[in-house]
């Protein structure tokens, strides 16, 4: 009962904060790679190709992909505040340049 009350309280606290990254209700967009992963999962399960004991039916995401998603969440392109989005974009590009400079 207490857990359900907490979830309802969190919902009503955050339901009007649509663009807030700390929002409990924040949704992530599906990417084309997610659709490929779903197709691979269904194909391997239905054909019996995958050994489910060894979790061969899952296509793992690489670290590069997780880092890209983290940056996209940080930039928050869906934010209606253009100044904040531009600031986030500049900060992200600055970090990318630092990474390239360290790599070279």
The residue whose two tokens read 């979830």 is: 7
Give the domain ranges of the chain. 1-28, 29-103
Asked whether 46 and 38 are in contact (CB, 8 A), the reply is no
pLDDT one-digit tens code per residue, 18-43 = 666 555 445 566 778 888 888 988 89
Residues 104 and 99: their CA atoms lie apart, in Å, by 9
Q: What is the pTM of this model?
A: 0.51
- The CA distances from residue 27 to 6, 52, 57, 76, in Å, are 20, 29, 25, 12
pLDDT of residue 60: 81
pLDDT of residue 90: 92
pLDDT of residue 19: 63
Residues 32 and 7: their CA atoms lie apart, in Å, by 31
Asked whether 35 and 29 are in contact (CB, 8 A), the reply is no
């Amino acid at each position: 009962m207490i857990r359900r009350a907490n979830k309802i309280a969190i919902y009503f606290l955050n339901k009007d904060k649509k663009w807030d990254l700390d929002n409990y209700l924040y949704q992530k967009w599906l990417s084309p790679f997610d659709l490929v992963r779903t197709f691979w999962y269904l194909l391997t399960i239905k054909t019996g190709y995958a050994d489910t004991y060894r979790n061969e039916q899952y296509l793992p995401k690489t670290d590069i992909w997780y880092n890209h998603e983290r940056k996209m969440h940080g930039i928050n392109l869906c934010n209606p505040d253009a100044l904040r989005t531009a600031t986030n974009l500049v900060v992200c590009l600055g970090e990318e340049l630092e990474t390239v400079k360290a790599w070279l």
